[in-house]
Structure 1
Amino acid sequence: MKEIIKINLDNEMDLILAHKRCMKIAEMCGMQSSFQTRFSTAVSEVARCSIAKGKDSLLVLGINIIKATQKEITAIITDAVDLKNCNPEAFNYASKISGNIEYSFFDNQSTTKISQTVPSPGLLSETKIKTLIDYFKFEPPLSPYDEIRKKNIELIALSEKLAESENKYKQLANSIPVLICVINERSNVLLANESLESYLEVPLLVFDRKNLSNFIHTNDIDNVLEGWSKAKSNRSDFTAEVRIRKDTQYIWHLVSIIPNKAEDGTFNSWLVYFVDINAQKMMVETLKDNTELKVIQRELENANQKLVFKNKELEQFAYIASHDLQEPLRKIMIMLSRAGEHLSEDQKKEYYFDRITLAAGRLSNLITDVLNYSRIDNRNQEFKEVDLNDVISEILGDLSLVIEEKNAIINIDPLPKVFGLDTQLRQLFYNLVNNALKFNTKQPAVTISATENPDNKRLANVDNYHVISISDNGIGMDSQYSGRIFDMFQRLHERDKYGGNGIGLALCRRIIENHDGIIDFTSKPGEGTIFWIYLPKK
């Protein structure tokens, strides 16, 4: 190895020096900025361990010439202490971000070697290497700066979280059995989910007569185009019933066009989604003149009311897809822009990214919650006997850190065995107990019990149900909110005071509906809340 520079690792200034010179060597060798950061952060992690735990620590940076077409930057840290044994977490992290790390401890000396392949070894000639040595020999003193390690770690974590958020957003859109696309002012289709792509024989590229005629019934196209024109002019919603061709037949769908509002208040795109209503439509046509099926017609009306409710949920999804899911990402981009206005390239990697990480985390949590809600379904699952005592025991284990932190008191009475879906019941009780711990300004006290004669009787045939209550001494809520706390994205408190996305109780209600049960609550502000869960005995 051709040695470039040596650095004694004695204090934090040496750590800063090591990091800066690793970055500079990597830059001068033609590495991409992401590889510069990973290599320098891995070296800094081990160097920090040497400064904190080591003795007689030395860092040597150089160029290792394996052969003419294969060269690498190498950092070798020697120490009189077994560093890896002192801090295995630091080495695990360095190995994770670098991938090229070797360690040995022999004869009371530890040796850590971290290397990174040079992308263009032919350009790294002997003359170039000598230039590197001369550069660092006459390099002027460096000014101190703070939080190098923290900012570089956050930069790497940010890129990973953004990639994860994008994948979850796509998974969310593709998991919903609705045909969805986004179009702009010029009627160009910006994106479409997998359901729409697989449904259509010809890809939908432009939302115009020519392309719509490939799958929408001729008699319905004028109505759709007229509604689309009005929606663009008035910045308003449009809804209509249309027939979409599937193979050799037409299927009735409810088409909705909803404008997306940009950050500055303008509208530059629209969300279009098609919901299959063919079964309801055919039933209506069949029942028009059939007086003997009036009872079924009333049931159809009830089904249509449920459809209206589902459409409302789809509208809520459209809002979250166009605004709340994109809001954290827009904030990230705004902060990146602001951070870079008056900073050098190195400084851009050192500041403001803690706020960016929080915004990306919020986006990830929100997408995860909405995805969980959309996946609650029991059509293809078999109900089995579930012991609620086991369920409560496991969720208390999951919440043990919160319980310990808040010094919470948990009282559990014997609970029954019920028929249901184990994973959904775990989610139900986890959300309710977690809320009891979260929405509390004093030492939480939570009681979970089963009762045969509840004070809150929702059903005349209550004897046919297991009745479970979860009571707490939390902040409570006013009865005026009883009609909407189980709705999607409803929050009764500011986000910065109590966390969450307003999806938890909506998820609970959906789980209870899947089990043909009922969920209700009694509460007063400042006096706590009792949630009542009714699960059928058969």
Structure 2
Amino acid sequence: MKEIIQINLDNEMDLILAHKRCMKIAEMCGMPSSFQTRFSTAVSEIARCSIAKGTDSLLVLGINIIKATQKEIVAVITDTVDLKSCSPEAFNYASKISGHIEYSYANNQSVTKISQPVTAPGLLSETKIKSLIDYFKFEPPLSPYDEIRKKNIELIALSEKLAESENKYKRLANTIPVLICVVNERNNVLLVNESLENYLSLPLLIFDKKTLGNFVHSQDIEEILEGWNKAKQNKSDYIGEARIKKGQDYIWHLVSIIPNKAEDGSFTSWLVYFVDINAQKMIVETLKDNTELKAIQRELESANSKLRFKNKELEQFAYIASHDLQEPLRKIMIMLSRAGEHLSEDQKKKYYFDRITLAAGRLSNLITDVLNYSRIENKEQYFEPVDLNDVLQEVLADLSMVIEEKNAIINVNPLPVVPGLDTQLRQLFYNLINNALKFNTSLPTVTVSYEDVPKDVNLVTSAENYHVISIADNGIGMDSKYSERIFDMFQRLHERDQYGGNGIGLALCRRIIENHNGMINFSSKPGEGTTFWIYLPKK
């Protein structure tokens, strides 16, 4: 149904509005006067019942397009009361007049639908329906009551938008890690955000020397007040530094006092920000008179500049590897395919077609693996909560064809939610489970478990700070003498014709784990399978 207009049913005046607008819509749709009256009367009868007996009543008038040649005017009255039980005679009368009435009541919601087919549906084009909507949108008031009601509806909408805007502002002010308050010209504190409230031991009500003394260092109070007085006199900004008390210590903060302007350019209040600059201040103080550290700083800046340049070169190399190296490989493989179309199998063997194709494919896989390894960045990134159960389901879906082909059995225990990077953790589990399926001569069985950290594991901090996930298989296993090699780049323990791959997968796993400040190790015996242990910090 395409909605034309809504009417809240609160009193008898709304009943008059409902009747008039039903008549008007029916008239504009080309409905004969007798049908206009029948439809409007049936709607009015239910609307009267809703006003008398109901609560939170709403009338919606619209056009229902059943198909191109079949359209109808529809009135839907909703209420939180079972109207039909309250006034069955009203519904009987409306049904007798209209003949097109439906009623339902469920979940404390009654819905009455009254419809009237349009005898000339061809007249109700999309343009016509839009004109109906615009007509009632800009319709002049039918009475002083209607005008007042429209103004009230507009005011309510504006107040809701204003409340929403204020809530967004408050959420923003309370979320950012900056201490904020709003002060008027009489030094009264009008607003304090949650960050500042949590920081203070006493409420901040007045922006004066006595109150500031509760949390500002005594040597910095006069400077703040002097800046505050100048800001008030000149209607200007003030920026300074002060030490703010936190526990038993004082932390350096940047203090900013900025006029809080209204839309018309006037202002009667100021925004006061306290931003933590203690780390920067300590560095400046330490470096102030220390020439040796200044020299080291210059060397570090130079090294950082060179490192940024090298990183840029590596990015360019990655681009070349992903495009310029892959492109000729694709062309070689396409030309080999085309060249071999007219050769027999003996001729293909004679000219080493199979070996050339395999070599090109291995080179393409190698380039892809190296690129994947290089994209695991070690720089600080924003970790988010990652549900490892979701990650594992996605990985198993990606490996579903391999699992089905090998008739593998995958056992999965519930896994935790960890802070991390979803894409990298998915790649970690994919590589380890794929290896478990690949390095296996029997029917593979892979078990993914979450359990307590083994006591014999040497971790940097307490074992309680880590999640441990194990991935165990019944594969070919490996000798413990290779424990120092398997996580290195391009390390392979088997011939290429036995098992595929380029020896990068486990190196990639270790880099992902290091990027998450965790650890990975394994236990294995030849012919008895392998268990990988993944340690991820809880925080």
State the TM-score bracket (shorter-chain normalisation): 0.3 to 0.5
User: 1 or 2 for the larger relative contact order (CA 8 Å, sep ≥6)?
Assistant: 1
TM-score normalised by L of structure 1:
0.37
Which one has the largest radius of gyration? 2
- The alignment's TM-score, normalised by the length of structure 2, stands at 0.37
